[in-house]
Amino acid sequence: MAGTSEHAVGHGGDSRRDFLKILTVATGVVGAGAVIWPFIDALGPDADGTAAAHLIVDVAGIPENTAITVTWNGLPIYIRKLTAQQIADTQAVVTSTLVDPADFASRVKPGYDSFVVVVGLNTGSPCALEGNAPADPRGPFDGWLSPCDGSVYDPLGRVRGGPATKNLAIPRFKFINDAQIQFG
Amino acid sequence: MSTDVKKSWLASRLPCPAKEAGSCAPTLERGAPYAATLPALITGAVLFLLASGLVLAVYYNPAHGFDSIQFIARNVNSGWLIQGFHTTGVTMLFAAVYWLLFRDIYTGAYRAPGELVWLLRVKLFALLLLVGWLGYTLSDGAVSYWSLTNATTAATALGGVAGVIGRWFFGGPNGAGTLARLEVFHAVLALAALGTLGASRCAARALARQTKPQHPVSCHPYYTSQTFAAFAVFALIFAVLMFFAPHYGLNPLNRAASDSLIVPAVLSPPWYLSPVSAVASVFSTAAGSIFGAIVMLAVLAALPWLDRSSPNSKRGLFYRLLTGLLLLDVIGLGWSVSDPACTISGSLTVVFTIWYFFHFLVLTPLVTALEAK
């Protein structure tokens, strides 16, 4: 009893109660958090979804003057390897003469000049562009051609003619090494 | 000052009934037992099941029910945990509901003026049985598939109004679209159960307000702390079951995928459905089984009028003994359908069923009338 009163004098009458209250509330909050977390976690993307959102594509095998198509986020993505001639030609274009001005450096990743990665949908009336294979119709600039409205793009995906007025969109991606790119 | 203005702005547009009624006013009787927190625990369990059910519904695919549950358990983040929450949550919910009903029978809480509370609780029980069965069929396992197929076959074969309702409910024989509609009924009827639960708690609260307390205490902190302590124990039992016995009371054969060409050897339902399933199995025809299940719940609902004692009179020793026997009888009913390998379990089901109805229709009126003298 003496100890209790001394305790009460020393630390205030409610110190023991306060301690227990804080302990109880803290335990309760941790418990509630542990229960709520699975509900939040379960509604997030699963491992498959995360992997699909950060798709890795091997680009080392793409032959020059050819593009491959991959699907990412539901979009057809064209990955094209340019020839030295195409690089030189597109670098020589005076940017200010274009419909949607964009220079060479803004269309490729620094250090990987030969790879162009674009969303392969015409920016005019949306439809998939032709010109991935060397034998495909590519239009006068050796790039892509829209079979729907006749819009013409150069090998960098810049619009060069037709109803379309915007360059092809560039998806979010990075080179993780010389042979692979990762989207997202 | 600005907060005062804000408060009155909000309070004038959104009046809080609890605040106006003064929920902290000492209006409750002191010393309610821990079992009086059961309705609160049941509410917590139902809300928990709604939350976990919503997450499961995001990923559940009724066209491939079994596979989508495997997907939830294996691929969805914490999916195994949410699924365990839902499965074990049902066990906890039914345990609390069975306990509540038995407690009401034991104490005679169903007598006037508590009949409405009792009726709403029986309705809640009936709805939960239906929702529980629907959820069981959604598991699309080898056993639940046959439970559903037997039900749909019976519904298509039934004549009259029952057949019309059955065909409307199931949309014909068990086929491609059946689980999709049952998923919707499962969710909608779960919300109906929540509404019924709310109504029963409103009625119980109105009942409590009729008597003036001898030693009045306020709800907070007196009963909030009691509810919190009960909830902590409830959650602890839940956690132990969930992590150490996640398939408690469930037929292990139902962990295999459904197959329309293979009937499993043991067709026992989950534990919480088994007493009703046992009474239904006594009757040989589909119409008889439905009749049996309905009458089983109907005698429960009729209890306030089967009891001949006056309200507030003490329960006699013999009646309390009989209630204990009834508990054993219901456990026996459930056990008798879960173990068909036992050769006498079929006749035991009949005996337990007869005792169930004998208890309510003969013993209850007789004993309560005798003990009231």
The interface predicted TM-score (ipTM) is 0.85
Helix (H, G, I), strand (E, B) or coil at A116: strand
How far apart, in Å, are the Cα atoms of B32 and each of B29, B35, B108? 7, 8, 16
Per-residue confidence (pLDDT) for residue A13, from 0 to 100: 58
Residues of chain A with Cβ-Cβ distance to B85 below 8 Å are: 38
Spell out the long-range contacts of A3-9 with Cβ–Cβ below 8 A and sequence spacing 24 or more: none
Q: How many Cβ pairs closer than 8 A exist between chain A and B? A: 27
In this complex, the residue of A38, A46, A48 whose CB is nearest that of residue B81 is A38
Q: Which residues contact A47 (CB under 8 A, 6 or more apart)?
A: B75
Residues of chain B with Cβ-Cβ distance to A37 below 8 Å are: 78
CA dihedral defined by B338, B339, B341, B344, rounded to 10 degrees?
A: -110
Q: How many CA atoms lie within 13 A of B368 on its CB side?
A: 26
Per-residue confidence (pLDDT) for residue A156, from 0 to 100: 93
- pLDDT tens, residue order, chain A (184 aa): 444 444 444 455 578 989 998 999 999 999 999 999 999 999 999 999 999 999 999 999 999 999 999 999 999 999 999 999 999 999 999 988 898 999 999 999 999 999 999 999 999 888 899 999 989 888 889 999 999 989 999 999 999 988 999 999 999 999 999 999 999 8
Q: What b/e string do you get for A131-160 counting C-beta neighbours within 10 Å, with b at 16 or more?
A: bbeeeeebbebbbbbbebeebbbbbbbbbb
- Alpha carbon B279 to its chain's center: 17
Residue from A43, A48, A50 to probe the interface with B (highest B Cβ count within 10 Å): A43
| Cβ within 8 Å, pair B85-A38 | yes
| Cβ within 8 Å, pair A42-B75 | no
Could you tell me the two tokens for A151? 């819009």
Could you tell me the two tokens for B161? 């109004």
B342 vs B182, which has greater pLDDT?
B182
Contact between B30 and B221 under an 8 Å Cβ cutoff? The reply is: no
In 10 A of CB A105, how many CB atoms? 10
DSSP state of A130: B
Contact residues, chain B to chain A, C-beta under 8 Å: 51-52, 55, 58, 75-79, 81-82, 85, 235
Does any CB of chain B come closer than 8 Å to the CB of residue A49? no
Alpha-carbon gap, residue A96 to B11, rounded angstroms: 63
